[in-house]
A and B are shown apart, each in its own frame.
Chain A
Amino acid sequence: MEKIITIENLTFEYTRVEDGAAIRALDNVNLEIDKGSFTAIIGKNGSGKSTLAKNLNGLLIPTSGTVFVDGYDTADDDSIWEIRQRAGMVFQNPDNQLVSSIVEDDVAFGPENLGIEPEEIRRRVDKALEEVNMGQYKQKAPHLLSGGQKQRIAIAGVVAMRPEIIIFDEPTAMLDPKGRKEIMKIIRELHEEGITVILITHFMEEVIEADRVIIMHEGKVLLDGTPYEVFSQADVIKKANLELPIMVELGQRLREKGINVPEGIIKEEEMVKALCQLKSQN
C-alpha cells in the first residue's frame, strides 16, 4: 500500500500563555497513513488530536521529528503550498471558515489562491457544489444557511482544490443530528471516490465507519488498528476516559450475562445478525 502521510518521531511543544510553561502536546508520534484510507482519530480534549491534525498540512510545524505529505516535508518552506493543496482541511466551526458572503465565491477562494485559470475555477466550483448537493445555493449568503449547509460549503471549498487528503477536524461537533448525518454521508462519498480521509471526532457512531481507528491520549498514540482491534480493548479505552461504541458496550454486558456474542462487533446490523443466530441455536 502506498503511504501518503509518514510521521516520524513527531514532537510538538507550545508555550502556554498564562505562565510561559512549555507544554508537550505531541510526544514522539510515529504513524503512516495509506493512500485512499479512512482513518478516525479520537481522544478527549487536550489529547493532542487537533494538534496532530494541524501538523499534517503545515499549519503547525513539528518541534522535532518530521511529517511527510505525499513526499513533501512540512518543515520545508518551499513546499508548503504543495502540501496544503494536497491536504485540505475542514474545521469545527462552520461560521468561522467561510470567507465570502456569496457561496460560490467562497468555494472559488482556494482555487483562486492556487492561480488556476478562471474557466477551470468555474468548472471546479460548479462540480464541487454539486458533490455536496448545494448546487442550488450558489448565489446565497452563508449566514442564511443552516450549520450543516455551511459545513457542506466548507467541504466544497476544499474539494474544489482537488486534494488527495481531507482532514476533518471535528466537522460535526456543532451540528444537529440532521446536519451530522448529511456531513457523514458526504465524507463517505468522498472516501469512495478515492480521497484519503482523516476524521477527528467525538462521536462513536462516526468512528465505526472508518477502516482504521487511532486513539490519542496525553500526546501519544494509545491504540491504533482496525475498529475491531481497537474496540476489543475496552478497558484501555475506558481508562482514557472515552466512551465505547454502543454495540461494543452491549456486547460486553451480554457476555457477562452468558450470552456469547462474538467480541469486536461494532455495528448494529452485525449485532442483530449475531443475536438471531444465537436464538436459532437455542
Chain B
Amino acid sequence: MSIKVTKLNHIYDKGMPTEQAALTDVSFEINDGELVGIIGHTGSGKSTLLQHLNGLLKATSGSIEVGGVEITRPGVSMVEIRKRVGLVFQYPEYQLFEVNVAKDVAYGPRNLGLSEEEIDQRVREAIALVGLDYETVKDRSPFELSGGQKRAVAIAGVIAMRPEVLILDEPTAGLDPKAHKDILNMITEVHRRTGNIIILVSHNMGDIAEIADKVIVIDSGKVVTVGSPLEVFSQGELLKSVGLDLPPITEFCNALGIKDTVLDMEDAVGKIVDLIKE
C-alpha cells in the first residue's frame, strides 16, 4: 500500500471573479507504512489537500493513487475511498452525537454496511486501540467524558472503519499537556500495531520531529520540500521563509552553534556534552 499524488490542482470558484488556486501541481509519494507529517501555516492549503485524499473535495486536475487505485478517476465510489482512507478532522469531538460511546464508534462501520458481529468486533478493537477500556466506556455518554477521552473516542470512530490510510488533522490542538502526550502516544501505538500509513498535520514541530518518518512542507498550495525530519529541519531558513518554526530544541542547538541538526532532547544532551568537553 502506497500513496502517489501527481500534479494535483484545485481551484476554488473556477471561472468566477473570486477564483483562487488552493493547490498548484502538488506531487509527492508516501511509501507503505510511513508516518508522514504535513506542515504549513494556517491557510497554506493543508486542509484542502487532506480533503482531496479522502474524496471530500474533487481535484480540478491531477491524480491521487491509493494502493494502486486511482481515487480521482470518475466512477470510483465514495464508500470505496472511505474504506481506504480515514480522515479525522480538527476538534473531532464536535462530531460526536450518539447516546453512548459504543454506538458512536459504530456509526462509521455501520455506514459501510457491515454485519452486526463485524461492527461489534471493530468497535471493541478500535476503542482498545485508542487506549480506552471498552467495558468502562461503552455505555457512557460521549458528552460526559474528559476532553482527551472525547477526542480518543472520535478518533476510534474513524479507526473502526479500518482505513488503510489514517489522516489526522491537528489531533492534539487545544489539549492540556497530559492529554496531548496521550494522544501522541496513541498515534504511534496505532501506527506500530497496524503498520498502516498515518498522515499527521500539526503545528507542533517538536511532535513532527519526534514521530514522523517523512515531512512534507506546504506553502501557498505548493509543496515546498519533502524529506526526512532531519533533512527538512536542517533547512531553517527555508522554513522561516514560509512562516514555520524549527522544533524548539533544534532552534536552541543552532543558537549554541552546534553544526548538526538536533531533533530531540537525548541527542541535544549528547551534543552539548561533546561541545563542552571538546
* A interface residue numbers (CB < 8 A to B): 18, 44-46, 92, 146-147, 173-174, 176-179, 202, 205, 241-243, 246-247, 249-250, 253-254, 257-259, 268, 271-272, 275, 278-279, 282
Q: Which residues of the other chain, B, contact A272 by a CB distance below 8 angstroms?
A: 252, 255-256
Q: Which residues of the other chain, A, contact B256 by a CB distance below 8 angstroms?
A: 272, 275
- Contact of B248 with A205 in the complex, beta carbons under 8 Å: yes
Q: Which residues of the other chain, A, contact B146 by a CB distance below 8 angstroms?
A: 45-46
Q: Which residues of the other chain, B, contact A243 by a CB distance below 8 angstroms?
A: 177
- Contact of B176 with A146 in the complex, beta carbons under 8 Å: no
5 smallest beta-carbon distances between A and B, as pairs: A243-B177, A45-B176, A241-B178, A253-B269, A176-B42
A243 to B269: give the CA distance in the assembly, Å.
18
A148 to B177: give the CA distance in the assembly, Å.
21
Q: Is B227 interfacial (CB-CB < 8 Å)?
A: no
Q: Which residues of the other chain, A, contact B265 by a CB distance below 8 angstroms?
A: 246, 249-250, 253
Q: Which residues of the other chain, B, contact A278 by a CB distance below 8 angstroms?
A: 276
- Contact of A202 with B176 in the complex, beta carbons under 8 Å: yes
Q: Is B76 interfacial (CB-CB < 8 Å)?
A: no
Closest to A253 in B: B269
- Contact of B179 with A282 in the complex, beta carbons under 8 Å: no
A243 to B182: give the CA distance in the assembly, Å.
13
Q: What does DSSP make chain B's interface, helix, strand, loop or mixed?
A: helix
- Contact of A271 with B203 in the complex, beta carbons under 8 Å: no
A173 to B245: give the CA distance in the assembly, Å.
18
Q: A207 CB to closest chain B CB, in angstroms?
A: 11
A246 with B276: in contact, given A174-B174, A253-B265 (CB under 8 Å)? Answer: no
A249 to B276: give the CA distance in the assembly, Å.
18
Q: Which residues of the other chain, B, contact A259 by a CB distance below 8 angstroms?
A: 272-273, 276
A258 to B269: give the CA distance in the assembly, Å.
11
- Contact of A246 with B248 in the complex, beta carbons under 8 Å: yes
Q: Is B230 interfacial (CB-CB < 8 Å)?
A: no
A250 with B177: in contact, given A177-B245, A271-B252 (CB under 8 Å)? Answer: no
Q: Which residues of the other chain, A, contact B13 by a CB distance below 8 angstroms?
A: none
Known: A92-B174, A272-B256. 12 other contacts (CB 8 A): A18-B144, A45-B176, A176-B203, A178-B42, A202-B177, A241-B177, A246-B265, A250-B269, A259-B276, A271-B252, A279-B276, A282-B277
**Which of A18, A202, A258 has the largest number of chain B CB atoms within 10 A?**
A202
Interface size class of chain B, counting residues whose CB lies under 8 Å from the partner chain: 20 to 34
- Within residues 191 to 209 of chain B, which ones have a CB less than 8 A from any CB in chain A? 203
A18 to B43: give the CA distance in the assembly, Å.
40
Q: Which residues of the other chain, B, contact A249 by a CB distance below 8 angstroms?
A: 265
- Contact of A254 with B269 in the complex, beta carbons under 8 Å: yes
- Contact of A146 with B42 in the complex, beta carbons under 8 Å: yes
Closest to A148 in B: B42
- Contact of B203 with A177 in the complex, beta carbons under 8 Å: yes
Q: Is B173 interfacial (CB-CB < 8 Å)?
A: yes
Q: Is B69 interfacial (CB-CB < 8 Å)?
A: no
- Contact of A242 with B177 in the complex, beta carbons under 8 Å: yes
Q: A77 CB to closest chain B CB, in angstroms?
A: 33
Q: A127 CB to closest chain B CB, in angstroms?
A: 29
- Contact of B273 with A257 in the complex, beta carbons under 8 Å: yes
Q: A78 CB to closest chain B CB, in angstroms?
A: 37
Closest to B255 in A: A272
**Which of B41, B178, B245, B265 has the largest number of chain A CB atoms within 10 A?**
B178
